[in-house]
C-alpha cells in the first residue's frame, strides 16, 4: 500500500473544506491557534511512518488525552472501574449536565467530560505523583521525552470552565468524586493541555493497534483483552455525539479533541493521527474527519 501517495491525494481532495468550521475559541489559548494548519501521520505495525504537512508541529491534544487516562485507570482498577463509569455512547453533548443528573452522577462513558473528570479523580487517588506519573506514561508510550503540559493552556481552560465545574459539583454531590473538586479540575485540565505532534500521537496510539504485542509503559500494564476493549469504547464513544457518523464514514476506532486532533487505529495494521483546528458543531475536526474517511475509502481498509 502506497500510503504516501494516498496522503498526497487525500490532501488535494479535502481542500474545498479548508475554510469550513472554526477553532475552539471558547478556550482562550486555543483561539490563538492558526486555523489553517494541517498535519497527518500514519505509523504502521511494521515500523513504517508516512507524514504530510505539519505532522511534527505540536498542538493541544485536549480530549485525546482521555484514552491515556482510561488506560492508566483500567490498569489500576481493572473491571472495578466500570462501577464508577459506564461504557455506552452518550447521545448528548460531551459536557451535558442534564444527562449526568438524570443518571445520578454515573457518567455514560469515559470520554465525555464527566467520565474523564472521574478518571482524573481516580488517578489523583492512586498515583504517588499524579502530574509526574501521567506525563511520564505519555512520554513512554510516545517514545518522546520532551512531550509536556502547556500550563498556560490549562490555566486558561480553568478560568472559563463553568460547565465543567458544575459537572464536578454534580459528581461530588452524587458521591462519585473522592478528592477536592478544585484539585480534580486542575489535574483534568492539565491532562487536556498536553501538547503532541501528529507523529508523536501516532506512535503513542500504535500499541492500541498492535494489541498482540505486550502493553507495558512506565508501569501501565494492560492485557490484550483490555486493549481491545479500549478500542471498542473508542469506536462507540470516541467522537462525542457524532460517534455513529464517524463509524459510518470512517470505520475505525478513534478519539478526537477540540484542539483539532483525531487519533485512530486500524487493528494490526496502523495508527493514524490528523490535525486541523477548524471544528464542526459537534467539536470534531472537519478536514480531519474527511481525511480519515478518504483514507479508509481509498485503501479499502476499515474494521468492517
Q: Which residues contact 246 (CB under 8 A, 6 or more apart)?
A: 238, 239, 254, 256, 284, 289
Cα 62 from Cα 65, distance rounded (Å): 6
Cα 41 from Cα 38, distance rounded (Å): 11
Q: Give the annotated binding-site residues for substrate.
A: 63, 113, 157, 164, 188, 240, 258
Q: Return the DSSP state at 22.
A: B
Cell 462525542 found at: 240
CA 57 to chain CA centroid, Å, is: 17
Q: Return the DSSP state at 221.
A: E
Q: Give the residues across from 148 on adjacent strands.
A: 195
Q: Give the annotated binding-site residues.
A: 63, 113, 157, 164, 188, 240, 258
Q: Which residues contact 4 (CB under 8 A, 6 or more apart)?
A: 50, 52
What b/e readout covers 218-239, taking b as 16+ CB neighbours within 10 angstroms? eebebeeebbebbbebbbbbbb
Cα 74 from Cα 78, distance rounded (Å): 5
Amino acid at each position: 500500500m502506497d500510503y504516501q501517495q494516498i496522503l498526497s491525494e487525500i490532501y488535494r481532495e479535502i481542500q474545498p473544506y479548508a475554510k469550513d468550521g472554526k477553532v475552539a475559541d471558547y478556550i482562550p489559548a486555543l483561539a490563538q491557534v492558526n486555523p489553517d494548519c494541517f498535519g497527518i501521520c500514519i505509523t504502521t505495525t511494521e515500523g513504517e511512518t508516512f507524514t504530510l504537512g505539519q505532522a511534527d508541529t505540536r498542538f493541544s491534544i485536549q480530549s485525546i488525552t482521555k484514552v491515556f487516562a482510561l488506560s492508566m485507570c483500567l490498569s489500576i482498577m481493572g473491571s472495578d472501574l466500570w462501577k464508577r463509569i459506564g461504557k455506552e455512547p452518550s447521545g448528548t453533548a460531551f459536557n451535558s449536565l442534564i444527562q449526568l443528573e438524570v443518571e445520578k452522577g454515573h457518567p455514560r462513558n469515559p470520554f465525555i467530560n464527566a467520565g474523564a473528570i472521574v478518571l482524573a479523580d481516580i488517578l489523583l487517588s492512586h498515583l504517588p505523583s499524579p502530574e509526574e506519573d501521567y506525563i511520564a506514561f505519555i512520554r513512554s508510550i510516545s517514545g518522546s521525552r520532551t512531550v509536556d503540559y502547556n500550563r498556560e493552556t490549562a490555566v486558561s481552560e480553568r478560568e472559563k470552565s463553568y460547565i465543567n465545574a458544575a459537572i464536578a459539583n454534580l459528581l461530588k454531590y452524587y458521591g462519585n468524586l473522592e478528592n477536592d473538586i478544585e484539585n480534580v479540575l486542575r489535574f483534568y485540565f492539565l491532562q487536556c493541555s498536553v501538547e503532541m505532534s501528529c507523529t508523536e500521537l501516532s506512535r503513542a496510539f500504535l500499541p492500541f493497534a498492535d494489541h498482540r504485542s505486550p502493553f507495558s509503559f512506565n508501569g501501565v500494564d494492560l492485557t490484550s483483552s483490555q486493549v481491545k476493549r479500549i478500542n471498542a469504547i473508542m469506536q462507540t464513544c470516541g467522537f462525542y455525539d457524532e460517534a455513529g457518523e464517524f463509524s459510518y464514514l470512517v470505520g475505525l476506532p478513534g478519539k478526537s479533541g477540540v484542539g483539532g486532533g483525531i487519533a485512530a487505529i486500524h487493528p494490526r495494521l496502523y495508527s493514524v493521527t490528523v490535525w486541523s483546528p477548524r471544528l464542526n458543531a459537534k467539536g470534531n475536526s472537519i478536514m480531519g474527519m474527511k481525511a480519515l474517511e478518504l483514507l479508509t475509502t481509498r485503501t479499502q481498509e476499515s474494521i468492517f
